[in-house]
Amino acid sequence: MATISINQLHLDDLPWIIEYDEEKCIQCGKCTAVCSFGAIKPEVEKRRKNTSCNQEPSFERVLVIKQQISFQHHCRGCGMCSRVCPNGAIKAIRNHNDRYSVRYRAAKADSLKKGGRSNLNTEGRTLDKIKIGRISQMTDPSLDAARHQFELKTPFGRVLSADKLAFRCENGKMELSKQLPPNRWIYPILMGDMSIGAISWRMWEAMAIATAYLNEVIGIPVRMCTGEGGIPVRLLKSRYVKYMILQIASGHFGWNRIIQAMPDMVEDPAGILIKIGQGAKPGDGGLLMASKVARYVQEIRGVPRADLLSPPTHQGLYSIEESVQKMFLSMNAAFNFRVPVAIKVAASVTSVSVYNNLLRDPYNIVGGFFIDGLAGGTGAAHEISLDHTGHPITSKLRDCYLAAVHQGRQGEIPLFAGGGLGQTGSFAADAFKLICLGANGVFTGRLLLEIAGCVGNDTGKCNACNTGLCPAGLATQDVCLTKRLDIDVAAQNIVNYFIATDMELKKLMGPVGNSTLPIGRSDALISVDKHIANRLDIQYVC
Amino acid sequence: MKKETVKIKTLTDNNRMSTQELLQLISSKIAEGYTDFDIEACGQHNIGGSSWALNREEKLNFKITNPGQRAGAMALSGTRITIEGSAPADVGWLNSGAKIIVNGDCGDTAAHCAAGGKIFVSGRVGTRSGALMKHDPKYNPPEFWVLKNTGSFSFEFMGGGIAVVCGYDCEGLSSVLGNRSCVGMVGGCIYVRGPIANIADCVEIKELEENDIEFLKTGLKDFLQNIDKSDLYDELTLWNEWKKIAAEASSHKTNKMSVAEFRQKNWIKDGIFSDFINDDYVVYKIPAVNEGRVHIPHWTKTDCIKCNICVKNCPQKAIEVKDNSYNSINEKCIGCGICAAVCPKKCWTMSDNRKEIL
């Protein structure tokens, strides 16, 4: 006789429960065929055939779809089964009584990991409580988003104040006596920052293609950051590398190949981003589960197949000053001071001190400060970090900007903000508001996955990027899953989204009356929330 | 009917008649039956506009010098306005049928929102001229004739009517329509003689056709006569110097290369990962067969009783029996696992289709 035990995993412990309608099911097998988690399987159930107790019991065997109950094969709620079902006979329903996180820790003596993003954001987003309230109405002609030519470009790289520009007069001509720090005028939205390995090769290449296409066919000078997993040599040696920002994180993955390729590069990269931390799991290093360390990932990174943990800090950097002296200097030297170098940190209570310190950089080699807020996404993280650490982006960005303003040095080290932008639907609005609050630009990664076809959401649907079993072929290295992704459609969708966002940014710039980016134009913003208005120093309205 | 011309001087002994005084004086004269006016204006607005003769059969004639803005604004058919010298902004604003002749230049937004009548300008017109012209099919389309050139942003949001820019006396100009003209233009057409630069991309620039030339031949004769420049007719009728601008039919919108094309033609050959992965970029259907399957069935002979339950239950009819052995056809099997579920002897097992990338 089959029995159960109290401490084994049960169906009602799981976060998602499969609702299966036997009447509608035609047993086509599509649902079980597509489930990458192995969370459902066809099984034969033994059932009593006759209902009368006067008869000898007789039984029949019935084929049904059964949910699997295991830590490895539990349902993540991705919904692929209901997508393929011709009759709507199956779907995953959220279990509000689940005990999965308790059970997992109790059974495995291991911290719980997941991908995606924090799902504890219950307070609502600050950016949604801000509106653009300063509209040109008879005061000054508002711009026409279609007619006017807008300049949506922002500097990436150190900007010197006028008194530091070393001009001299030579034969009646003004000349620079010293090389200026490298600076590139780029689109105010940077994409990517997701490593080879964390996302599939098709998704990574789709982003790279979208970037090149946006630059060369559409004329939107967007830049893509490689993430910390290196960059394919074929891209490195192509002219398209000029659109790529190379990332170096604490794991320093992929830099061997970059250095080896340097003599053969035909273009400089767009920039270098030193990643100190990321907003979704601040203080924790990168985490690439072994299931995603495919052979090519092993090669580019120079490591075997294993869980790859980047250290939480850059070894050898012990202070802000040392970071500037060592890391910024080395990365500037890498391309002979021709390529701007920026740094990315997780938003933190300490961000302003860091920014103030960077502003004092005596070598003019700090080319940008990226702050990543807690609502960002990640390919894999410990849930404890994802859900309970971090700092919202909005006030932190504002604090940094105002810190620079108080010294009269705003804009000298461009500020970039990111972390969960576009979460509630409008990426352009989020970007615009952050720019008005002082950002030179914004960056996004997770949103690109959503654009390309991610089936998850912000409330715990799927969020299984860490498993390497991404049903959409985005966060996996599995051949059969990755090839579900149409690289052209994914790239085209990213391109389309940028074109739409570009129009929408102009639709916001027009009413405010700016034809260039309204960086720091906080007078354009209002809030119906008094605390937010006070904290951000914008107008409170009601 | 009183036929003599009403002469109005609006500046006497340093006293200037206000716009209201002038317009009310004109309307009181019209109410008395006067139809002809000779006005020495002093910047008063709206002269000649929204008026009609007491006897609707008759026409109103205005001769104006030194008008203010919006000369001929909201003017009706039956009104003829001749401005000696230049006029400031908004000449013929909302013109609904008047003939307005300007023997000089016009300021900005000439013919703005004009929906009828004819406006003849012997000089240049300012920015945003011809903006929002439209054509109500119940009436004749508005015509807007300019001998020289227009300022920037001209003809924006134009919805109908005909404009003619003759490009006379424009040597050295890079564009006789200024910069960024025709933005948001959805209807009507503009005939242009001379260079055009940086025009909005919602329009197309075409060569003249027979009927265009016919229209211009007749129209130019009338226009040049009205501005007293008939001697220019031969110079302006070299048709290869002319172009026609019309709103682009949406089906004609220039098709940019798609991203897929870009990948195949411009992008790094075989893709950036091709030194690791031989990716053909084929997209697997969901669910997929062959290599695209997430799970793959395997059959072992050991306990098989040849009950054929697997064959009967396979939804893809993917199991074939050959020489007492069961085989799943890769081209049909989607890897659903039903064979493994129904086999009473567990001869079928499923394995994950995980592959190291080569």
Q: Is B139 on the interface with A (CB under 8 A)?
A: no
Q: Which two tokens stand for residue B351?
A: 């394995």
> Shortest Cα distance from B188 to chain A (angstroms)?
19
- In chain A, what percentage of residues exceed pLDDT 70? 99
What is B6-252's CATH number, 2.160.20.60, 2.120.10.70, 1.10.10.60, 3.30.390.30?
Answer: 2.160.20.60
Q: Which CATH class is domain B259-352?
A: alpha beta
Long-range contacts of A69-72 (CB under 8 A, 24+ apart): A69/A9, A69/A10, A69/A11, A69/A14, A70/A9, A71/A9, A71/A103, A71/A104, A71/A107, A71/A108, A72/A38
CA distance A301 to B269: 23
HEC secondary structure over A244-280: EEEEECCCCCCHHHHHHHHHHCCCCCCEEEEECCCCC
CA distance B78 to B100: 11
> Shortest Cα distance from A18 to chain B (angstroms)?
17
What's residue B252's pLDDT? 53
Q: Which two tokens stand for residue B165?
A: 């820019």
Taking only the tens place, the pLDDT of each residue in A479-508 is: 999 999 999 999 999 999 999 999 999 999
Indicate the SS3 state at residue B226: helix
Cβ proximity of A261 and A233 under 8 Å: yes
Give the residue from B276, B296, B314, B349 with the most A CB atoms within 10 Å of its CB, the best one to mutate. B276
What's residue A170's pLDDT? 86
- Could you give the dihedral angle defined by the CA atoms of residues A523, A524, A529 and A533, in that order, rounded to the nearest 10 degrees? -20
- Residue A250 in this model has a pLDDT that exceeds 60: yes
Chain A residues with beta carbon closer than 8 angstroms to that of B199 = none
- Residue A242 in this model has a pLDDT that exceeds 70: yes
Is the Cβ pair B294, A480 closer than 8 Å? Answer: yes
Q: Where does chain B hold its CATH 2.160.20.60 domain(s)?
A: 6-252
Q: Which two tokens stand for residue A458?
A: 């912000």
Chain A residues with beta carbon closer than 8 angstroms to that of B273 = 201, 205, 232, 234, 296
Is the Cβ pair A296, B277 closer than 8 Å? Answer: yes
Q: Is A453 on the interface with B (CB under 8 A)?
A: no
Taking only the tens place, the pLDDT of each residue in A254-271 is: 999 999 999 999 999 999
Is the Cβ pair B277, A492 closer than 8 Å? Answer: no
Residues within 8 A of A (CB atoms), B 220-279 only: 256-260, 262-263, 266-268, 271-277, 279
Of B156, B274, B353, the CB nearest to A147: B156
Of A27, A149, A299, the CB nearest to B315: A27
Indicate the SS3 state at residue A382: strand
- Residue B2 in this model has a pLDDT that exceeds 70: no
Q: Which amino acid is at B279?
A: D
- Residue A121 in this model has a pLDDT that exceeds 70: no
pLDDT band at B37 (very low <50, low <70, confident <90, very high): very high
| B287 prior amide bond cis, ω within 30 | yes
In this prediction the pTM is 0.89
pLDDT band at A312 (very low <50, low <70, confident <90, very high): confident
Is the Cβ pair B266, A212 closer than 8 Å? Answer: yes
Q: Is B147 on the interface with A (CB under 8 A)?
A: no
pLDDT band at A2 (very low <50, low <70, confident <90, very high): confident
Q: Which residue has the tokens 């039919």?
A: B249
> Shortest Cα distance from A457 to chain B (angstroms)?
21
- Residue A142 in this model has a pLDDT that exceeds 80: no
> Shortest Cα distance from A470 to chain B (angstroms)?
12
Q: Is A477 on the interface with B (CB under 8 A)?
A: yes
Taking only the tens place, the pLDDT of each residue in A183-208 is: 999 999 999 899 999 999 999 999 99
Rounded average pLDDT over B86-101: 97
- Residue A27 in this model has a pLDDT that exceeds 90: yes
Kindly report the average pLDDT of chain B as a whole number. 94
Q: Which two tokens stand for residue A110?
A: 């291991």
What Rg, from alpha-carbon coordinates, does chain B have? 38
Is the Cβ pair B352, A38 closer than 8 Å? Answer: yes
Residues within 8 A of B (CB atoms), A 200-219 only: 201-202, 205, 208-210, 212-213, 216-218
Rounded average pLDDT over A343-356: 95
Q: What pairing do the DSSP bridges indicate for beta strands A287-288 and A308-309? A: antiparallel
Q: Count of CB contacts below 8 A, A vs B? A: 161
Is the Cβ pair B313, A63 closer than 8 Å? Answer: yes
CA distance A326 to A259: 18
CA distance A211 to A333: 26
What's residue B250's pLDDT? 64
Q: Is A481 on the interface with B (CB under 8 A)?
A: yes
Question: By C-alpha distance, which of A511, A217, A542, A249 is closest to A370?
Answer: A249
DSSP H or E run through B30:
helix B19-31
Rounded average pLDDT over A305-320: 85
Give the number of other CB atoms < 10 A from CB of residue B20: 11
What's residue A286's pLDDT? 82
Give the residue from A213, A233, A451 with the most B CB atoms within 10 Å of its CB, the best one to mutate. A213
Phi, psi of B193 (to 5 degrees): -115, 120
Chain A residues with beta carbon closer than 8 angstroms to that of B276 = 201, 232, 295-296, 299
Span of A165-169, A509-513, A534-538, B237-241 with lowest mean pLDDT: A165-169
The structural architecture, per CATH, of the domain A11-110 is: 2-Layer Sandwich (3.30)
Domain boundaries, chain A: 11-110, 128-157+185-540
Is the Cβ pair A480, B284 closer than 8 Å? Answer: yes
CA distance B322 to B328: 11
Is the Cβ pair B282, A477 closer than 8 Å? Answer: no
Angle formed at CA A194 by CA A191 and CA A200, multiple of 5 degrees: 115
Nearest residue on chain A to B199, judged by CA atoms?
A: A147
Is the Cβ pair A477, B263 closer than 8 Å? Answer: no
Q: How far apart are the first and last CA of chain B?
A: 101
Question: Cα B5 to the chain's mean position, in Å?
Answer: 45
Rounded average pLDDT over B309-314: 96
- Residue A122 in this model has a pLDDT that exceeds 70: no
Cβ proximity of A61 and A436 under 8 Å: no
What's residue B358's pLDDT? 44
Strands, sheet with B143-146, edge to edge from the N-terminal-most edge strand: B6-9, B36-40, B60-65, B79-84, B96-103, B116-121, B143-146, B162-165, B189-193, B242-247, B203-206
Nearest residue on chain A to B315, judged by CA atoms?
A: A28
Is the domain covering A128-157+185-540 a CATH 3.20.20.70 domain?
yes
- In chain B, what percentage of residues exceed pLDDT 90? 90
- Residue A102 in this model has a pLDDT that exceeds 70: yes
Is the Cβ pair A29, B334 closer than 8 Å? Answer: yes
Taking only the tens place, the pLDDT of each residue in A45-60 is: 999 888 788 888 899 9
